[in-house]
Chain A
Amino acid sequence: AQSVSQHNHHVILSEAASLELGCNYSYGGTVNLFWYVQYPGQHLQLLLKYFSGDPLVKGIKGFEAEFIKSKFSFNLRKPSVQWSDTAEYFCAVISGNQFYFGTGTSLTVIP
C-alpha cells in the first residue's frame, strides 16, 4: 500500500541544536513532495516543496529538505533550531491527484 512514513514521532531539542526529521514514501512514480508545519494554535502552513530540479530545496525560516530519489526520502533539516520552531511537522506526498500525509513529528525546542 502507498504510504508516507515519519519515523520520529516526538523530538526534543535544545535551542541551537541541529534538526533532521525523516520522511520516506512508497510511491514508485513521479511524486511531488511537501513539508507542512502547524504551530500551536495555528493552521497547517507550507514550509517547503519539491517538484523537480535541484533536489535540495530551501523553505521559510531557514528550513531545507533534500530529495533522495534512490532512498525514497525527503528529510527536513535546520542547522540551528529556535524555541519558536516548536510545532508539529508533516511530510506530504502527491502522486497524481492523490494526497498522502505522514503521521507527523512533534518537535519541542527547549530554550
Chain B
Amino acid sequence: EAGVAQSPRYKIIEKRQSVAFWCNPISGHATLYWYQQILGQGPKLLIQFQNNGVVDDSQLPKDRFSAERLKGVDSTLKIQPAKLEDSAVYLCASSPSSGGYNEQFFGPGTRLTVL
C-alpha cells in the first residue's frame, strides 16, 4: 500500500513569511496527526484529526499555526507568519483510527528552515 505522502520535502523561507505543508494519509486511515520535530528533540504532537474533526490541538500555537483536513482525507498545515524558532521537520502521520491501539504510519516529513 502507498505510504503517507508529504510535500514539499524541503522549504526555506524568511521570517514573517507564510508557508504551507501538505499531507496525504494512507487510504482509509481516519486519523491524521501533525508533529513538529526540532533538531535534537522527539516529535511533538501539534494537532490530531479524526476524519475532518479536530480531536486535539492543545499544543498548536494557534496565533500563527493553522491546520485543516477538508473532506477527511488530505490535510494542510500553515504557518503565518513564520518565526526563526519554527525551523524544524514537520511530520505527518496517519492511523486507521484514534487511540493508542493503532500504529501510526509516518511520512517523510518537510524540513523547514526559517532565516
Measured CB to CB, the residues of A under 8 A from B are 4, 6, 31-32, 34, 36, 43-46, 49, 51, 90, 92, 94-104
Q: A44-B91, A97-B55 are in contact. Are A103 and B41 (CB under 8 A)?
A: yes
Q: A4-B42, A43-B3, A51-B100 are in contact. Are A97 and B48 (CB under 8 A)?
A: yes
Beta-carbon nearest neighbor of A99 in chain B: B45
Q: A43-B108, A44-B91, A44-B106 are in contact. Are A101 and B99 (CB under 8 A)?
A: no
Instruction: Name A's interface SS.
Output: strand
Q: A43-B3, A90-B43 are in contact. Are A32 and B101 (CB under 8 A)?
A: yes
User: How far does the Cβ of B54 sit from chain A's closest Cβ, in whole Å?
Assistant: 11
Which of B35, B44, B56, B107 makes the CB contact (< 8 A) with A97? B56
Measured CB to CB, the residues of B under 8 A from A are 3-4, 33, 35, 40-45, 48, 55-56, 91, 93, 98-101, 103-104, 106-109
A97 near B99 with CB under 8 A, answer: yes
CA distance A4 to B43 in the complex (A): 12
Contacts of A45 in B (CB 8 A): 106
User: How far does the Cβ of B5 sit from chain A's closest Cβ, in whole Å?
Assistant: 11
Q: A97-B98, A99-B45 are in contact. Are A46 and B107 (CB under 8 A)?
A: no
Beta-carbon nearest neighbor of B93 in chain A: A44
CA distance A58 to B3 in the complex (A): 24
